[in-house]
């Protein structure tokens, strides 16, 4: 579902500008964090991102602290977005893609992306009714996925 709205070379240039504005260098390690999110559909913990990078680049060490700092920068620039799982931490996805909302299983952590045109239209109508200029929104519905429901039966 998460079709990218922006090509990778443009993403890299935005990232380089962000790093420069924060007096940071563009390093291979930082780029690999960005590329990992761009290339892999899904929602990942920083540790899962580290594992994905290590599998593809076994000779290059990318420290977990670098991953956390890079994700924070990417999120600040909307190049990454996160879903918070309280004490379980955050899961990240690439931020520049088609809008979608999330169903989140509170038992296994499964995240299901969805888009509903009628729901989007209703949200626009609500904002208009209240003379509110909506700039963005997120919807997260928490519950129990079908697999976990089946296991409970």
**This prediction's pTM:** 0.73
> What number of CA atoms fall less than 13 Å from residue 13's CA on the CB side?
5
- Choose among 28, 29, 34: nearest CA to 10: 34
51 φ/ψ sector (left φ>0, alpha ψ -120 to 50, else beta): alpha
pLDDT tens for the chain, residues 1 to 153:
446 667 889 989 999 999 999 999 999 999 999 999 999 888 899 999 999 999 999 999 999 999 999 999 999 888 898 887 767 788 898 876 677 888 989 888 888 888 899 998 999 999 999 999 988 788 889 999 999 999 988
Residues 6+ apart with CB under 8 A from 141: 101, 102, 103, 104
**What's the confidence (pLDDT) of residue 46?**
96
Domains and CATH numbers, the chain: 8-94 (1.10.10.10), 101-152 (3.30.1490.190)
42 φ/ψ sector (left φ>0, alpha ψ -120 to 50, else beta): left
């Amino acid at each position: 579902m998460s079709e990218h709205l922006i090509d990778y070379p443009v993403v890299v240039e935005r990232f380089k500008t962000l790093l420069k504005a924060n007096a940071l260098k563009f390093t291979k390690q930082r780029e690999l964090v960005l590329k990992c999110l761009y290339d892999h559909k899904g929602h990942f913990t920083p540790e899962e991102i580290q594992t994905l990078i290590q599998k593809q680049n076994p000779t290059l060490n990318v420290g977990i602290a670098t991953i956390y700092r890079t994700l924070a920068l990417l999120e600040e620039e909307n190049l990454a977005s996160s879903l918070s799982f309280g004490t379980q931490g955050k899961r990240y996805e690439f931020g520049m893609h088609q809008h979608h909302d999330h169903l989140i299983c509170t038992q296994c952590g499964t995240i299901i992306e969805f888009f509903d045109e009628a729901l989007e239209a209703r949200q626009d109508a609500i904002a208009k009714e209240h003379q509110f200029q909506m700039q963005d929104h997120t919807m997260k519905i928490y519950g129990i996925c079908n697999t976990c429901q089946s296991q409970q039966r």
